[in-house]
Amino acid sequence: MKLIRIIFSISLLSLLAQPVLANPMKLLDVAFSKKVCDGWNQTSLPKKVGRKGSGWIDSADSKGIQKIVVTRKDCKGWKKVQLVIKANEAGEAKCVEAGAFDGKAFQWKFEPSTVHWADFSDGFGAFKMPKIMSGFVGPYGTAMKNIGNFQIFFAMVGYVAQKNKVDWSCKGADMEDVNDEIKGIDQADMKAILKGMAVLKN
């Protein structure tokens, strides 16, 4: 009996000594938004949408700063996050802040479903624009002129999600469809969109 108690005590101590694993990062949660902000600055977007590029940074009646609110429309009770993009002295559009949506004014909002976030990871164009129109906020004409830049953004989000092994699940998402879409992401196409960008190296 004494031997059994000793074995039990050793087993219990062993379990208690195991490291406590943190909850996995989820797609478009606050922690992930900060990874996306870093990823933005490691792509060609700061120059492409800056003042020497498409000029997106001065669009939507907001000069030099753009707030993008992002979420997943199929996730019940999901808290929105935001990215704040600001022009630096060189006119480049840098991501300077990310985190929970503060409820204040913004210029853009993207809320594709979870399966569409996966779908857009390896390609986005005018033919996929209807998939983001539900809940979309932003000047449509400017959006159409920046389709190629949106493609870089969505590919970067997908790549960062895969790199950080995020949890794509949420209450309300059809995870069978989501997992099928994730498995179907064309890695070569995604990396071709991000070719030459630092985000692939870090």
**SS3 string of the chain?**
CHHHHHHHHHHHHHHHHCCCCCCCCECCCHHHHHHHHHHHHCCCHHHHCCCCCCCHHHCCCCCCEEEEEECCCCCCCCCCEEEEEEECCCCCEEEEEEEECCCCCCCEEECCCHHHHHHHHHCCCHHHHHHHCCCCECCHHHHHHCHHHHHHHHHHHHHHHHHCCCECCCCCCCHHHHHHHHHCCCHHHHHHHCCCCHHHCC
- At residue 172, the pLDDT reads 97
Of the two residues 14 and 36, the one the predictor is more confident about is 36
Looking at the predicted structure, is the pLDDT value of residue 10 above 70? no
Looking at the predicted structure, is the pLDDT value of residue 23 above 80? no
